[in-house]
Amino acid sequence: MPVLPGWIKRVSWVVWVLLLASLPVTSMPLVVKLVRSDTVAAPSGIFLAVLAVIWLIPYLLKHGVLPKTTLPLFLFFFLALISSLLSVFYAIPLYKGHGVVFEVVTALATLIIGVLFYLVTVTIIQDETNLKKTLQWISIAGALIVIWSLAQAVSWAAISRYPAWMKSIHELYSVGPLFRQRVSGFALEPSWLAHQMNVLFIPYWLAASITRTSAFRLKVWKLSIENLLLVLGIAVLLLTYSRIGLAALLVMLAVPVVLAALQLLNKVNQRIFNMDRIKQSARFLKVIFQVVWFIILAAVGIGLVIGLGFALSKLDMRMASLFEFDFQHRDVLLYYAEKLSLAARFVYWDAGWGVFERYPILGAGLGNSGFFFPETLHPYAWKLTEVRELIFRTDTLLNSKSLWIRLLAETGIIGFSAFISWLFFMAEGIPAKLKNTGKLPAAMGWMVIFTLIGLAFEGFSLDSFGLPYLWIALGIGSSMYFSKPGNPADARTRAAS
């Protein structure tokens, strides 16, 4: 690490703590007025700007080192920039006074914000001490989310409304409403809360629980703080009624369950097939046993999914028609999706794919895909009230509602491949982390796994680069690639990477 004045380090750490503590808030009215955005207007962005000036720039000017995981990210940023600059020469349709240059600059700004979140995280955490302190503050921020979300749930369950004092507090941190029956925490809406939990908070709490490690010394009845927050965080995620969020959670939880089942299978194999009586036919019986074990696991998994679907069909009105199928319509899939209140999202994805088909190599440029939507929307889209409202009664530029579709539409197959390469590069060092003798590197390896699982699903729900949770989570994972000469702990990390 470059030698920086002590006051810079101390002030930067205080601002970093404030950034972490403000992570739950996504759309504060005061910040909305400041940045003139009615969606992503997080106070953490203000603290990020301060850190970029007083920490990141001096760090880089002093020839501070960045981990190798930043290289694919810089390549993606360069390709997105090239795609956006080339879009000036495209025949982009006009749409209700929106300017192409403004949309491109705005989109590039959000990407720059995301990259800065990543770079600040990866440079300010370079040893296990700072890592533990960072994880402590992330858990504190997550605890605030849990407490406030459960307060919302209790209030609605008790009186079927939210009291005036709760609404007054809500108006201080969000420009969005409080939702009926669904908790939103400090976020703009429940799906954003689910995104927070699935990409940052639950991945860390689940990873810490699996590896039996903790950033805190305090325990409650032999349970770590992360154990308790994991249980409560899962409850909060369920209360958001985010369907994509719930799917991501199920897959995350399935990973340790499947691993435990495989370990159990291995132990059973060793005990049974080492018996003298069946050693001669052990190979055949082992195959039969493994097939039966797989069928049992698959049956249990399918049963759980069906049971969960049935429960959702009773608890969530949007899912009431989950098991009602009608194949007599021309657009069967979209008709079924409309009954589940998913059709609008499907047609946005399809429209974004239509933009990708027009510009498959480098895309239409960041921020530009919405200009083409009136031309690429599926005919079924015009039957949907939401789509008609947005097109005929607002001046909102439509978006794909999916990070993956947006990457394809706006950066093409080359930009999409570069972004995916960055994620694969992040995953490259996970096996070494999991085999590391230290529990904390192993926990960070699991955290990256769960973050990538969460992102795989959440990427079909949100498409903004400006939300900090992905960048901070992967920044924490990248920070484990750092090593400092003469530091034994860092030498071990270097060897593991």
DSSP state letters, 285-354: HHHHHHHHHHHHHHHHHHHHHHHHHHHHHHH-GGGTTTT-----SSSHHHHHHHHTT-HHHHHHHHHHHH
Q: Which residue matches tokens 């025949």?
A: 91
Q: Is 238 exposed, middle or buried (0-12, 13-18, 19+ CB in 10 A)?
A: middle
Q: Measure the CA–CA gap between 310 and 315, rounded to whole angstroms.
A: 9
Instruction: Report how far apart, in Å, the C-alpha atoms of 329 and of each of 295, 334, 335, 341, 348 are.
Output: 35, 9, 7, 17, 20
Q: What is the pLDDT of residues 83-141, one digit of tens each?
A: 999 998 898 998 888 889 999 999 999 999 999 999 999 999 988 889 999 999 999 99
Average pLDDT over residues 266-295: 67
Among 5-14, 286-295, 479-488, the minimum mean pLDDT is found in 479-488
pLDDT at 170 > cutoff 90: yes
H helix count then E strand count, the chain: 22, 2
- Share the mean pLDDT of the chain: 86
Check pLDDT > 60 for residue 305.
yes
Give the pLDDT band of residue 321 (cuts 50, 70, 90): low
Please state the rounded mean pLDDT for residues 288-304. Answer: 79
Least confident of 238-247, 248-257, 325-334: 325-334
pLDDT band at 495 (very low <50, low <70, confident <90, very high): very low
pLDDT value at 278 more than 50: yes
Q: Which residue has the higher pLDDT, 491 or 155?
A: 155
384: three-class secondary structure by DSSP: coil
Q: pLDDT tens digits, residue range 193-211?
A: 999 999 999 999 999 999 9
pLDDT of residue 486: 35
Nearest to 461 by CA among 382, 387, 405: 405
| DSSP 8-class letter at 398 | P
Other beta carbons within 10 angstroms of residue 311's beta carbon come to 11
Residue reference for tokens 């959000």: 110
Q: What's the mean pLDDT in 388-402?
A: 89
pLDDT of residue 456: 95
pLDDT at position 491, please? 36
Instruction: For the chain, report the end-to-end CA distance as a whole number of angstroms.
Output: 18
276: helix, strand or coil? helix
Q: Return the minimum-mean-pLDDT range out of 35-44, 166-175, 321-330, 427-436.
A: 321-330
Please give the average per-residue pLDDT across 398-412, as a whole number.
94
- Determine the pLDDT at residue 191: 93
Lowest mean pLDDT among 64-68, 336-340, 415-419: 336-340
The overall pTM is greater than 0.85 = yes
| pLDDT above 90 for 300 | no
Q: Got the DSSP string for 88-124?
A: GGS-PPP-TT--HHHHHHHHHHHHHHHHHHHHHHHHH
CB 108 within 8 A of CB 80: yes
Residue 81 in tokens: 């920039």
pLDDT range class, residue 301, cuts 50, 70, 90: confident
pLDDT at 329 over 80: no
**pLDDT at residue number 282:** 59
Contacts of residue 186, defined as CB under 8 A and 6 or more positions apart, other chains included, come to 24, 25, 26, 144, 145, 148, 173, 174, 193
Residue partners of 120: CB distance under 8 A and separation at least 6: 16, 48, 51, 52, 55, 56, 475
Q: Please, are residues 103 and 367 in contact by the beta-carbon 8 Å criterion? A: yes
Tell me the two tokens of residue 214: 């903790």
